Structure 1
Amino acid sequence: MPSRDFKRTDRVSAQLRREISELLHAAVRDYALPSASVSDVEVTRDLDWATVWVTALKPEESPVVMKALKELAPEFRHALSKSMILRKVPQLKFKYDESVDTGERIERLLRENPVPPADPADEPKED
């Protein structure tokens, strides 16, 4: 039997990402939350749990976003049960994705402290 390119968990993760992104956008608007976006969703093999990685537009507001999302998780799960065709909708666990903040911090440091161009005289000579 040929192997599938995409596993079921990958397809469920992608659909959850789309659906939760829409729910998050509505929550930002309805509850006046700071702007945030879903960067990734990872689902366990048994589809019992989904880890939702979230990024805030302003990193200093991330604790507010995360607290609100943890409180809204049951409401999101209920909405997902209506919009998705799954026997069982996974429990949602929200985590803050620091990779974007780290990348921006590194980029800012590089702009503030540019690396001087290499001096050709400092390089070892090849024989």
Structure 2
Amino acid sequence: MSRDFSRTDRVGQEIQKEVAMIIQREVKDPRMGMVTVNAVEVTRDLAYATIYVTFFTLEGQNVEQSIELLNEASGFIRGLLAKRIKARIMPELRFVYDKSMIEGVRMSSLVDQAVASDQQKKNDKGDA
């Protein structure tokens, strides 16, 4: 019987949970705002972890600056993570902005516009 999740998936889930807690409670940089950890991809050798994040943007907040701040704090976050997770190898953390949420909202908006356009055309044909 095969396993449902690979080891890298389980490690990624644990890293996602702990990094979210660390960013929320330990990283005290007001320039960053609210950060959501969406997903974590860990390489097979557990050497690197790519962490996908989104931000609840504040006025004047720059996403690139926030990603840069997280990448600068990655050593600090990795140290705290190593204390919380018992692992022989602690992956190097890389933070990446996750655009999927914005793309989802954009696609939903396009679908709504198309449906409204079709409804308008249907109503115009019915009136004629």
Q: Note whether the superposition's TM-score is higher than 0.5.
A: yes
Supply the RMSD in Å over aligned alpha carbons: 2.3
Output the amino acid matched with 2:2. S
The residue number in structure 2 matching 1:125 is none
Q: Number of residue pairs matched?
A: 118
Deviation at 1:61, TM superposition (A): 3.2
Instruction: State the alpha-carbon separation in 1 of the partners of residues 23 and 112 from structure 2.
Output: 33
TM-score normalised per structure 2: 0.81
Q: Secondary structure at the match of 2:62?
A: helix
Where do 1:49-64 residues align within 5 Å? 49-58=48-57, 61-64=62-65
Q: Distance in 2 between matches of 1:61 and 1:35?
A: 13
Identity of aligned residues (%): 32
Question: Which stretches of structure 1, 4 residues or more, deviate above 4 A after TM superposition?
Answer: 109-113
Determine the C-alpha separation between the residues in 2 that align with 1:106 and 1:84. Answer: 38
Where in structure 2 are there 5+ consecutive unaligned residues?
none
Please name the residue that 2:117 is paired with: 115
The alpha carbon displacement at 1:58 in A equals: 2.0
- CA distance in 1 between counterparts of 2:7 and 2:20 reads 20
User: Amino acid of the residue matched to residue 115 of structure 1?
Assistant: S
TM-score, structure 1 as length reference: 0.81
In structure 2, how many angstroms separate the alpha carbons of the residues matched to 1:61 and 1:34? 10
